[in-house]
Amino acid sequence: MVKPVFADLHVHLGEAPDGRPVKITASSQMTIERVASFAKNAKGLDVIGVIDAHVPSVQTRVEEKLASSAWTSYHDGGIDAGGITLILGVELELAFHGRLFHFLAYFKYLDDIKAFTNNYLQTRVKNLTLSTQRVYDTPEAVLKAVRVHGGFGVVAHAFTPFKSLYGNAVERSIEEVFPKEIPDAVEIGLSADAVMADRLTELHKFPFLANSDAHSLENIGREYQELYVQAPTFQGVISAIQNGGVKAYCGLQPLLGKYYDSACAACGTKLSESAPNSCSFCGSSKVIQGVRHRLEELACENTVEVARPPYIHHVPLKTYPGIGPKRLERLREHVGPDLYVLHEAEERELKQVLPNETAAMIARKDVAIESGAGGTYGKVKRTSSS
């Protein structure tokens, strides 16, 4: 039976089972167990990509869970962790002529990511217990190694100004980095959407992914896709991505992204449309280029139309005015997980917990947004009536 599932394939861990930090900037609440239960119960996701599953103590914890039958491994890959599927993956920092960018790899079984870690990664990174380590090998060799171990290789957050393929590594084209073998998919989002990304004709042949890159529990599910899958397994998810099984992308509304517009690198002032290369406030010409401007630079003259699943602009609940941690908790308790609240709940259900104005904004999807820039997220503005 084909059924729709919600999948966010880029969720980091903050702390390994041995208590050591995995990603220094991630919350220590991000253990693999907490991440799995929060993604399912608070967010309403069905599938998550657990990035940082290359860490040996994380692999050992997964092994223990499987041995005790608390979790089970799907025949078609992926792990059933009590009603939510975990796809094991890793984020890697690759370099092209010294310019860094991030790359994701997903594996079918625990044994595959273990083999990739032990046979390949171990001798090419400095510290196997940390997230997103620099790999000392060429990008194409990394992609090949991922494929040798049955993995799926994805360009991570492709347009962000620091450490992304289009934001930092290439002059113009993905082929500079991957001349012969091309990755399996490109993660867009976090300041861009599919319409923006498709202005690069060379991306038309790639499946897209919209993922949260969450470093905290609350950010899980700020981007995700709805997929039609035969079963919520590794194979089910990958074939949906590759063979037209994406029902919709739900990406963060680009204006909310922290690198949507350009900003002055010296004082942080958002740069205006008319003078995007120097700061009107302090005069500096050091610019953190926004994703919007980078894409305008790269955009092809005559782009042809490309058929894509709908790309829905997602405004996470916590960004609405009037929704703090207490109200979020009450919403989940009285109405349902976040994705239910956003997609299905009726205005009258929301009014049980929220002020009328906020309930109306959510139910009617009626929001105005001030764009983000230079590392500061965009903001949902109160409507005049609220």
Q: Which residues contact Zn ion (rule: CB under 5 A)?
A: 91, 102, 156, 213
Min separation Cβ 91 and Zn ion, Å: 5
- Please state whether 131 falls in left (phi above 0), alpha (psi between -120 and 50) or beta: beta
Residue 225 C-beta: closest distance to Zn ion, Å:
17
Show Cβ contacts of residue 90 under 8 Å, excluding neighbours closer than 6 positions: 51, 52, 53, 54, 104, 105, 113, 116, 117, 121
- Return the residue nearest Zn ion (CB atom): 102
Provide the minimum distance between the beta carbon of 288 and Zn ion in the complex, in angstroms, as a whole number.
16
Contact, 245 vs 365, CB < 8 A? no
Q: How far apart are CA 228 and CA 6, in angstroms?
A: 9
Strand-pairing partners, residue 101, are 94
Contact 1, 45 (CB under 8 A): no
d(CA 64, CA 74): 16
The CB-of-156 to Zn ion minimum distance in angstroms stands at: 5
Q: Measure the CA–CA gap between 5 and 67, rounded to whole angstroms.
A: 27
Report the nearest approach of Zn ion to the CB of residue 51 (Å).
6
Coil, helix or strand at residue 197: helix
Q: Which is nearer to Zn ion, 213 or 261 (CB)?
A: 213
Pick 213 or 223: Cβ nearer Zn ion: 213
Decide whether 61 or 102 has the Cβ nearer to Zn ion: 102
Beta-carbon count within 10 A of 197 CB:
24
Question: From the CB of 8, what's the least distance to Zn ion, in Å?
Answer: 12
Q: Least Å distance between CB 149 and Zn ion?
A: 20
Q: Which of 253, 256, 258, 315 is nearest to 290 (CA)?
A: 258
| Closest C-alpha to 249, from 284, 198, 300 | 198
Q: Which is nearer to Zn ion, 90 or 353 (CB)?
A: 90
**Spatial CB neighbours of 320, under 8 Å, sequence gap ≥ 6:** 358, 361, 362, 367, 380
Phi then psi dihedrals of residue 295, to 5 deg? -70, -35
Q: Return the number of the residue (216 or 269) whose C-beta is nearest Zn ion.
A: 216
Q: Which of 23, 270 has the CB closer to Zn ion?
A: 23
- Judged by beta carbon, residue 102 or residue 294, the one nearer Zn ion is 102
> At closest approach, how far in Å is the CB of 228 from Zn ion?
26
Non-local (6+) Cβ contacts of 135 within 8 A are 92, 93, 94, 121, 124, 125, 142
Nearest to Zn ion of 236, 251 (CB atom): 251
